[in-house]
Structures are given as structure tokens and as C-alpha cells.
Structure 1
């Protein structure tokens, strides 16, 4: 089929608008396009400054789906999305390509990479087309890659007949067994269920098994999206409302409206999180309270499920390795109901690296119950910074972070000082003296204290996009 020819007037109108946005609105608004031999628009990608900044925060996992061709040219409309700190869609940019060839996909991914300041995502989730997979391997060779489970499910429904066969295939897809165990189970499945009608599809799926089977993707960083269909939901809003009569300017307006809606929703969730006070329901009050203060509600509720499970585990062994200060401490954690189920947690002496053999932190970006069990064992209520990723947390609040550190330090000091009457008296007198001096200083200034919010001190109109980018990168 011949490549659809984009109307020159439509292409000129869209390129002129994108150029105006870059020249008049914000120089960091990005667009890139390619013309064919007849000087007609062939491929196009664009991302405004907000999309680019959102990527700096949330671009560790990128999802894009090239299967939607709902416009009058029959061209793939490809939004790039991710998971925000509220676990809602974040918009990173959008592309339109003339065909589904390898060259077009490579061009699209390279254009996207240009918009991200050459910052490659840790992981990529796609619709599973062979040309897409090849393009990801070329442009993002070091990124984890998997196929969206929704697309695999659609193929399962199409090529396998019978619910029992489908369920057996789904177990191959979802069970986190070893690669060797997968191979054994796969050949058993093929021996029972291969037919002339499904053999070609099964052979193709086996060829790309590392992109969909949990045996190969389970331990990789996909923010918990490696075994469910939430990836499809991320892009749904961008695809809802598309229809076969849409022109190129229509698609631009559609993407703008969707992106604005997603950002307004995220801002509303930020404001709601600032106001919300979650009910503490576990027996680990300090840990739960700290988690509620640091993480957005969506991530806190996931973490609280891990906190609830702490009492089902206990530390049975703790050993020190290497240098007594800078070396590592290793803990063996056992499941009380099945004493033979062991997990191994390793912490660096400085506390900046914490790992568990279950690898939940590496997969989902949230600490597991075994790490939390070790925290209880060591009487620590402060979740290590390495287990509290910035992308999972509430908007930056320096006061809250300082308060967290003071509470943790104070709890340790007060616990020790309360055991000795003289130390208790000294600490109490010091705090009373500090408060008296502090209050006297406030009275001397007439009771007025100048408070500068580092997030709002600069005039918003005077902060350039480059400055915004620098602030975000520096964190």
C-alpha cells in the first residue's frame, strides 16, 4: 500500500504553529520532522517544555503504542507516556509517522531521544511489533524492554483456542520461574498444544520470549508493570476520542488537550496530597507515619501493605562484612510460617545501599517487607534514602525532610537520655535554653520572621526553561 500523502496545507499549518510555540512561547518547546523526496511531511515528533520536564522527573519507564492509526491518513499516532509519582499517566511527547517500517521507528525514537536531552529511559514498554522491538534495540540498547501484557493477551485470544490452553500460556507469561524452568515448561506446552494453525505464532513468541515472559523480565525495573495490564491504561486517554476523519491539526489539538488534562489532574493530586492526612492502621506507627509523610498517597498505600507484613517475618542472623564502619551488614530474614523460606538483606555501612534477595526494590521502586523487617530489627523508623526514590515521593518539602531527620535523631537521643537521670537533666536543660533563646530572638525582631520558600522565591516568569531543567537535574 502506498504511503499516505499528507496535505501540504495541513502540514504547513502544524509546523508553523510548532515553530511559533518555540519562538514565541518557550525556546525549550521541541519539534522535529522529516520530509520525503517530494518535500512532503513524512514523520513528525513534538514535545513542549512541560513534557520535557515531566520526563526528567518520571521518564525512567516509557510506554508507547504504535498500533493506533485513527486519522484520515491512516498514520500511526504515537504518544509517549510514563507513570507519575501519583501512579497516573505522565505525557512526554507525541509522534506521527508515515509507516510502520524499521526506519520510521528508528527515526521516531531518535527524535524522542533528542527531546529528552539524550537521557535514555531505564525501561521501555511497547506494543510488541517486530520492527518496534528492533528499533528499541538500536536506539535504546541498554534499556530494559518488554511487551505490554495487554497486547500479548490480545494475541493469546486470537491464536489459542480453549480456556485451559490460554491459562497455561498465561502461566508461562506470568510465573516468575527461572529461565531454565521456563524452557522446560515451554517445550512441554508445545508438545501438548502445538497445531498447524498456531505453530507459526508460537515460534514467533518463543523467539521474543525475553520480552514477555516473567522468567526474563520479572527482576527488571518496570515500576510494578511487568505482570499486569496497566501499561495499556496509561495511553488510553491519549487514544480516546481519535477517529478516522481527524486531520493533522486535529491530532495536535487532541494531544494538547490530553496533556493539559493529565497535568491538571496531577496538580490536583499534588494539592490533595498536601492536605490529606492518612489514617495509621498498622502496629508500626513511626515507620508508617514516616512513609505517609514522604510518599504520595498512591505509593504509600502500596508500601503500607508491605508494612502490614513485617510481623510475619523475623531476622534470624546478622553478620558484618569487611570494614567495621564502611563495610556491609547482612541480615537473614525468615518467614515465620515457613521457616525454610529465607531472604537476604544487605546494607552498606553508610546506609546508602540496601538490597534484598527478593529484588522488589529493583523491580518496583518501593522497599519490600524484608527490608522493613530489618529496619524494625535495628530500631530505625527512617526509610533509607536509597529506598525512597524521588519519583515516588510527594513534592519536595525541605521542612518535612528536615523534620524527619530531627525526629529520628531525637528519638534515639531521648531513648538513651531517659535511661540516666543526669543525662536526662542535661538534655532537658539544653532544649529549654535553646527554646528560650529562640523565642527571645523572635521577640526582639517584633515577632516577624522572614520565610523564603525556595520553590517560589524566584519570579516564575523570570525563570527560563534552561534554569528549570538545571534545577530539576540537580534535584
Structure 2
């Protein structure tokens, strides 16, 4: 086709036209591959976004479109178009740079969640170095379960390779709960100082009772400065790994060094016995003067069982909570992610963890624990008030009480002291009964550390003829009603999303109804025709 432009008349004129094709036509089966026939509609764009948010790979997402459309040729676009769409959208989202986009993202979260908290640290050139954030649910979880916190850092979750630090605890179902997260510039003491201070600021300076970390020196120094009254404990798993790293030469062949060292961490409850066994370890393996062992021994109050008896741990001895979370993050997040995309996918991982509590809640109400000895009111009571995992821990202590014997009883005024010995464990334990104050402390300090009555105390309750767990020894954080009465934050703000929904939110709300109605309409021909005609009317 030839066109000329007449300048005098200011008009275009068709000069020549040849209606025959000057190239071979594509077969009808290939038409959908032509660029002119490919287009991502607005509705498809929303589905592409949702598939990306769900973490589907490019191939899996496109396969899903193909199944829904009745074949890849009916989708209307190619995988390359989908990839270009996502790249263009990401570039548009970064038009103000990563930092600007991050600030906009935090601003939107604050509008949706009034309790959302975020903070930045700037360097001398006013560049962001460290970032901390926590949403309303994290605040509420910390209020309920923030007595024991683990903190660990991981790498390779974003393209800047910034260390990701996550504050984690566990709820009444012993499922992970996240209290806050931070992206650090580095792992120096100044960065940790800022993160710990900011964490406490977000919590209105309510401190945890015990904080577990690895053996990072900078982290330990920061805790000592920022939270001197918090009990800092070391992860036993990291200590074991460091022992293998520094003393691997002692673990060859049939050496028992690792098992002997492990016993020092977990087995000895008496300080004198621990010190005796430590000396035996140094002598037997000829490691006296080893610098790593000397540094580790100097911190024995943070890892040895006999010194941890005065520490509230709730059964935690390592940063395993943080490590399992970090493993999940590394699996879900890729190192090539920009910061805003990283935050989006991090929120998805957090949501997945929270859903575990929903499942645990459902299972707890669907499956009440079976009590084989149905005539025991103590176990019946425990089954009703404790969550399933805590009930199993309590039942183990009750089984221990069956093997326990009262070796001696002494009356000391208003106090009664019971000497308890067991058939399956060494040592003697003293349980003191104070009837006036309704207390029953045991020298093993199981309740003080874990929050569950020990078998020794349960034996004394049985001797006293007490058939129910005293209210004093029912820790609310372990009960099924741990969240009761805590729907509001301290400032009275409800933790929920605002009513203002964006395009993706509206799509998610409408889509289930659309699918349900379409399925129902297709069951009969008249329904199908009615649905199709009404959809055409709505489309207009």
C-alpha cells in the first residue's frame, strides 16, 4: 500500500494497493504466536500478579493458564509476554528507586494496619543502612508469647546480600510466631545495638525474659549493652557445631569426645558434678589450655544445664526456631530479589507460618486427647485446658510420677519437705509443700524453667490426695485459651485490614463466587445459557 501526502490540500491519498500477500501465511494453529494476536488482558494481569505472589514459577503459572483456557493456544499470550509484563511492572514499581518504593510499601501497610511499625537507620550520607519492621499481629503475638525469644541472622535472601535477622518465639501450640524482622547493613555491634533498641521501642520497651542467640561476639556485646537484665543464653546446636569445627581432630575413629561434651550441656544437674566431669574431659582428651574450650567454659552459665536451672526457657535450648524459619526463607526467597519484592514474599512466608496455628487450633478442637485411664480427673483436666503438644509434655511428667517414690518427709513448721527418688533416674529431689501459700516448688525447677509441673511435684500432689492441677501451676500461655481477651492492642486499635481494597483484593473476593456460580450454571443447559447471557449484559 502506497500513500502520498498533498501539502496544498493537507490530505493523504491512497496511491496504490496490492491485496495479495507477499509472504507465506501461517497455519491457523500458529496464529496465536503472532505478536499482533498476543495481549495480556486486565483480568489476566491480575491473575499473573496473584500467581507471582503465590510463588509459582513462570512455567507452572503458564501451565495453569493453559489448563483454565483449554490449551496453551487459547491463553492469548506467551510465557515471554508474561515475563516482560512482570519485569515492566517491577520497573514501574521502582521508578522512585528501591528505597522510595520501600517507603511507599511501608506507607500502604501502615494505612491498612494501624499498628504497623517500621524504622530506618541512616548513615552520614543519609543512606539507609538498617531496617526494622513489625505488623500488628507481631505486636499481639509478642504481648502473649514474648517471654522467650530467639534471634538469628541468615544471608542469600535478597540481591544486596544483606543479613536478615528475625525475632521468633513459639505460641501455646509450640508453633513458630514472628515478633519482628530486620535487614541489616552488616553484623557489627553498632548494627545489633540499633536493631535491639528498635525492637524494644516497637514493644514499648517490654523486654523478653530469655533471649537465645548463637555465639556471635558482636551480638552478645550488643545484648549486654541494650538489655543487661535479660538472660542471654547460647544455642546448644551452634556450640556443638563449633566444637566439631575447632576440635574435629578429637572426634576421629571411636572417640567419645562429642558425646561426653554433649553430656556436659544436657545431663548434669548438679554444679559440683558438672565441674568434676569438665575436669575429667580436659584430662582424658588432653585439651587443657585449648583456647576455644576456655572461652566456652567461661560462658557456661549460658549453656550448661546445671547453670540454666534458674533460667526460664520453656523447653528451648537453641535457636532452632530461627534456623528452621531461615531455612524456609532461603527456600522461598531468591538472592536476586530486589528489596520491595523481598518484603512482599517475606510477608507470604509469615502468612504461611501463621496458618499453621489455624490448623493447630482446628485439630485441637477436633481431636481431644485420649486419656486411657479415664477415671483420673488430673489427666482429664490437663486434656481440657492444655493444647495437645503441651498435654503430651504434661503426660510424660505424670508418667514419671508413677515411677517416683517418697523417700522421706520432714515437717519444718508450716512447710513440709518431701524427698523424692525415682526408679528410672539418678539423684534425689526435694519438693517443698507450703499449704498456706499453695506452692509446691521442686529442686529440679522444671516448672520455673518450662512452665509445667514436674513428676516429683505431681507425686507429692498424689500423696496429699490432690486430684487437680492447682491454679497457681497452670500457665496461661500453654492453655487453649492463651489468646482469650487479647483481641486489641494496648492502644485499643483493632488489628485488621482497612476496608479500602485494591484491584487484587477485589478480584480475590469476587473470584470464588464467579467460579461457584459458573460451576452451578453448567450443570444444566438452561443454566449455562442464562449465565452466559447475563455475563454479556454485565460486560456491557
TM-score normalised according to structure 1 size = 0.75
How far 1:107 sits from its partner (Å)?
A: 0.6
Counterpart Cα distance in 1 of 2:424 and 2:313: 29
Query: Are residues 44 and 231 of structure 1, via their aligned partners in 2, closer, same or farther at CA, if it must alter by over 3 Å?
Result: closer
1:127 is aligned, of 186, 207, 214, to 214
Q: Note if 1:138 corresponds to 2:225.
A: yes
Q: Which region of structure 1 is more displaced relative to structure 2, 243-252 or 109-118?
A: 243-252
The secondary structure found in structure 1 opposite 2:332 is coil
CA distance in 1, matches of 2:404, 2:192: 48
How far apart in 2 are the matches of 1:164 and 1:170? 10
Tell me which residue corresponds to 1:251.
342
Deviation at residue 99 of structure 1 after TM alignment: 0.9
State the 1:128 CA deviation.
Answer: 1.6
CA distance in 1, matches of 2:192, 2:383: 42
Q: CA 1:156–1:67 in structure 2 vs 1: closer, same or farther (change >3 Å)?
A: farther
Work out which of the residue numbers 424, 445, 462 in structure 2 matches 1:359: 445
Trace 1:50-129 onto structure 2 (pairs within 5 A): 50-129=137-216
C-alpha deviation, 1:289, in angstroms: 0.3
Partner of 1:412: none
Segments of structure 1 that go 5 or more residues without pairing to the other structure are 1-6, 323-327, 399-453, 471-475
Task: Identify the residue that residue 166 of structure 1 maps to in structure 2.
Answer: 258
Question: Are the structure 2 counterparts of residues 159 and 206 from structure 1 closer, same or farther at C-alpha, using a change threshold of 3 Å?
Answer: same
Structure 1 residues 354 and 114: CA distance shift in structure 2, 3 A: farther
CA distance in 2, matches of 1:281, 1:132: 48
**Contact 1:85-1:394 at 8 Å conserved across structures:** yes
CA contact (8 A) 1:334 1:340 kept: no
CA-CA distance at 1:184 after TM superposition? 4.1
The alpha carbon displacement at 1:321 in A equals 5.5
* Contact persistence 1:67–1:127 (CA under 8 A): no
Distance across 1 between alignment mates of 2:363 and 2:261: 42
Q: Which one of 274, 278, 282 corresponds to residue 190 of structure 1?
A: 282
Contact in 1 for aligned 2:152/2:322 (Cα 8 Å): no
Partner secondary structure for residue 492 of structure 2: helix
* More off after superposition, 201-210 vs 31-40: 201-210
Mapped to 2, the partners of 1:318 and 1:214 lie a distance apart of 27
- 1:313 aligns with one of 399, 404, 410: 404
Which residue number in structure 1 is paired with residue 17 of structure 2? Answer: none
Using the alignment, how far apart are the partners of 1:130 and 1:159 within structure 2?
17
1:301 aligns with 2:392: yes
Matched, 1:25 2:115: no
1:448 aligned residue: none
Distance 1:48 1:465, change over 3 A: farther
Query: How many Å separate the matches in 2 of 1:75 and 1:357?
Result: 46
CA distance 1:99–1:227, shift in 2 (3 Å): closer
SS in 1 for 2:181: strand
Deviation, structure 1 residue 137: 1.4
Q: Give the Cα separation in 2 of the matches to 1:339 and 1:167.
A: 19
> What SS class does the counterpart of residue 120 from structure 2 fall into?
strand
Q: 1:68, 1:77 within 8 Å by CA — same for their partners in 2?
A: yes
Identify if the C-alpha distance between structure 1 residues 266 and 209 changes in structure 2 by more than 3 Å, giving closer, same or farther.
Answer: same
Distance 2:444 2:464 in 1: 20
Which residue number in structure 1 is paired with residue 516 of structure 2?
Answer: none
Which of 235, 250, 265 matches 1:148? 235
Deviates more, 1:247-256 or 1:112-121: 247-256
Alignment equivalent of 2:478, drawn from 392, 407, 431:
392
How far off its partner does 1:372 sit? 1.4
Query: Counterpart in 1 of 2:26?
Result: none
> Structure 1 residues 469, 136: closer, same or farther in 2, change over 3 A?
farther
CA 1:335/1:187 → structure 2, altered by over 3 Å: closer, same or farther?
closer
Bigger shift: 301-310 or 91-100? Answer: 301-310
Q: Which of 1 and 2 has greater Rg? A: 2
Q: Give 1:279 shift.
A: 1.0
d(CA) in 2 for partners of 1:8, 1:175? 57
* CA-atom RMSD in angstroms: 3.2
Report the 3-state secondary structure (helix = DSSP H, G, I; strand = E; otherwise coil) of the residue aligned with 1:266.
helix
Relative distance call for 1:464 and 1:128 in structure 2 (3 A) is closer
Q: Distance in 1 between matches of 2:224 and 2:375?
A: 45
Contact 2:98 2:339 survives alignment (8 Å): yes
User: Which deviates the most, 106-115 or 347-356?
Assistant: 347-356
C-alpha spacing 1:346/1:228, structure 2 compared with 1 (3 Å): farther
- Residues 298-329 of structure 1: CA distance to partner in whole angstroms, max 9, x if unpaired? 1001101111222222446666666xxxxx54
Label 1:387 to 1:39 Cα distance change in 2 as closer, same or farther (>3 A). same
How many residues align? The count is: 397
Matched residue, 2:432:
346
Q: CA 1:227–1:334 in structure 2 vs 1: closer, same or farther (change >3 Å)?
A: farther
String of CA shifts for 1:174-198, please: whole Å, max 9, x gaps: 23344444444334433454669x9
